[in-house]
């Protein structure tokens, strides 16, 4: 598809990383979990969870699925503004 035909996000659009991070933090806190507890439930390293929440780490679909499962939500819920 030509570049001119591609849809572009509005300048004020929030990034998927920011949405994912905000939802992870909210859901984790709702459960009363630390980052370490979330990471344990996901089978991930604590620093990985921290990096995702700080938006400094690119996260795979597989890990988004693990995070969603641990938090008890559907994957799409982690990506909804």
> pLDDT for 13-61, tens place per residue?
889 999 999 999 999 999 999 999 999 999 999 999 999 999 999 999 9
Of the listed ranges 3-7, 21-25, 49-53, 76-80, the least confidently predicted one is: 3-7
* pTM for the predicted model, two decimal places: 0.83
pLDDT of residue 17: 95
Residue 44 and residue 69 in contact, taking contact as beta carbons nearer than 8 Å? no
Q: In the numeric block, which tokens belong to residue 55?
A: 């938006």
From the options 1.10.260.40, 3.50.50.60, 3.30.460.80, 2.40.30.10, give the CATH code of 14-78.
1.10.260.40
Average pLDDT, integer, range 3-13:
61
DSSP 43-78: T--HHHHHHHHTT-S---HHHHHHHHHHHTS-HHHH
């Amino acid at each position: 598809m030509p570049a001119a035909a591609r849809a572009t996000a509005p300048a004020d659009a929030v990034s998927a990383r920011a949405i994912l991070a905000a939802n992870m933090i909210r859901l984790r806190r709702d459960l009363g979990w630390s980052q370490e507890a979330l990471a344990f439930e996901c089978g991930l390293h604590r620093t990985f969870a921290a990096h995702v929440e700080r938006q400094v780490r690119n996260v795979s679909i597989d890990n988004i699925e693990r995070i969603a499962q641990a938090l008890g939500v559907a994957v799409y819920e982690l990506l909804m503004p």
